Amino acid sequence: MEEYGLIEKRDDEYQLTPFGVLIFDEYRRFSETIKSLLQNREVFDTTQPINAVLHPSLFQGARILSTNDYIVEEIYEKLQSSISEASHLYGVAPTIFPNQIDLHLEKTTANELTAEFILPHSAIEYLQSNFNGKLDTLQSSDNFSIRVSQETPPVGLITVLEPSKKVVIVIHDEIGTIRGLVISENPESITWGKRTYQSFREDSISFESYATS
């Protein structure tokens, strides 16, 4: 360790150098992140290609909520509560849940929410079949817009911008059942959320274009 500049001898005792402290702190954060991932590995036990968008640094300091610790209904409630106070958000998701539709409809009608969501064809078809009236109301709002993606995203991603910034990652299994949530206020996660959303947005079309195609 002395050879690599991590420790030095002072008064007959070895101590970490400033560089050693930097390396040790980073190692500790990495170890804590890996430990948290291993403890919640069931959340990530899915054939969805989550590795295409996720990486371990996103989980530093994050809360991971697993269906091992909560029943599925509680996870849905945690998701709802994590975004219920948002006044500005955008998201990309493989599906959107009925209670989210009601929440967004209530808040946009009251001019309390500005939002944009990117959804795949299958989710749009589901909404049109089951919530067409609500979908039309949302889409006609000046504060809410929907875009349609060609590809189904491997995770749900909601980036809350106001009143406080955070990222909510929703992990699903192959049939769309929720497996868990990752909630992070880490600035790096928020930057990742914005960048990932923009990447999906560039490959999407407006709902109006989809509806007339």
Model pLDDT for residues 155-188, shown as the tens digit of each residue = 999 999 998 899 999 988 777 778 889 999 989 8
CATH number, span 42-212: 3.30.870.10
Burial of 64 (0-12, 13-18, 19+ CB in 10 A): buried
pTM for this predicted structure:
0.79
d(CA 95, CA 183): 18
Angle at 43 between CA 41 and CA 48, to 5 degrees: 105
Q: In the chain, where does the domain assigned CATH 3.30.870.10 lie? A: 42-212
d(CA 50, CA 163): 28
Contact of 149 with 118, CB cutoff 8 Å: yes
Residue 119 phi/psi, 5° resolution? -130, 150
- Each residue's pLDDT tens digit, 66-102: 887 888 888 888 888 888 888 999 999 988 877 888 8
Find the helix or strand (DSSP H, E) in which 144 lies. strand 144-149
